[in-house]
A = this chain, B = another copy of it.
Amino acid sequence: MLIECVPNFSEGARPDVIKAIVAKVRSESGVRILDLQSDASHNRSVLTLAGDPDSLARGVLALVSACLGAIDLRTHRGEHPRLGAVDVIPFIPLEGATIKDCIDLARRSGEAIAKTHGIPVFLYEDAASAPHRRGLEDIRRGQFEGLAAKLKDPLWAPDFGPSEPHPSFGAVVVGARMPLIAFNVNLNTDDVEVAKKIARGIRNSTGGFRFVKAMGLLVEIGGRRVAQVSMNMTDFTKTPLFRVVETIRNEAARHGVSIAGSEIVGLVPAQALLDSAEHYLQLTGFSSAQVLESRLRAE
């Protein structure tokens, strides 16, 4: 079972400190480190890890321990909002893992962090303990500076750990979510209004698909102005790419416009594309165990 974990920690300006933190995660857990992005003005780093649940549980404990020794939120400044020295730890299901596995891992890791280090822990997104605690922006509102007051509000009691901030660390938000897919569809028009209308039709916030965030933009591609529907697909297992593309195709045609092309920005789980192939080829009774590479990895 493979799970991805993308912890954000509150150091983006001191390369030596960042290096030491990542080295500790690597040496104490054996997780694979896929990516590290640091931003000095945000004063924040984003680490991408992958591994089995046990390795990841060790990895995030090592990360918390390293950041506890190296980061003091009382003197931390940066443009990005933050609540703790390790700010947020999302677990994301990859091959052979479900969102349930990630929720379990989030709870288990959150409890271990609270017990080991006396740090308040909030659970968020699919691991949240109440609907008003799902959104990261809601949990983080008030930031480190407002944390002591927030923790006294019964609505914001921590899921694990003490009801007061750790003096230097603050608190940490741990959770589970589906992988995000950044997906853009370009239209054969430079009329941004068409892209905006389509975006309103397909996104959750204005009545569209549950797991789509979308906006209409005018972008420049190879010197040409192109109207683009720019999307975040937040759960491709429930709102699949193919259904959204078909809807965009239909809505665009109503304006006399066609799809010029689409693009995936960054990484995409293989299953999201396999689902589209299965739909398009009208495959019946197909199992992902038939994919040769899955069979190889299952050995």
Give chain A's interface residues, CB within 8 Å of chain B. 2, 4, 32, 34, 50, 94-95, 179, 186, 241-242, 245, 259-264, 266-270, 273-286, 290-297, 299
Contacts and interface: CB of A to CB of B under 8 A. Distances in A.
Interface of A is mostly: mixed
A299 B32 contact: yes
A296 B32 contact: yes
A267 B290 contact: yes
Given A242-B280, A280-B276, A296-B50, A291 B262 contact: no
Number of copies: 2
A281 B291 contact: no
A210 to B, nearest CB: 20
Contacts of A286: 263-264
Nearest to A245: B281
Contact of A292 (B268, B290, B293): B268
A260 B285 CA distance: 13
Among A95, A259, A283, max chain B CB count under 10 A is at A283
Given A267-B290, A267-B291, A270-B270, 14 more contacts: A34-B299, A50-B296, A94-B292, A95-B293, A241-B281, A262-B282, A264-B286, A266-B290, A267-B295, A269-B292, A270-B292, A270-B293, A273-B273, A276-B281
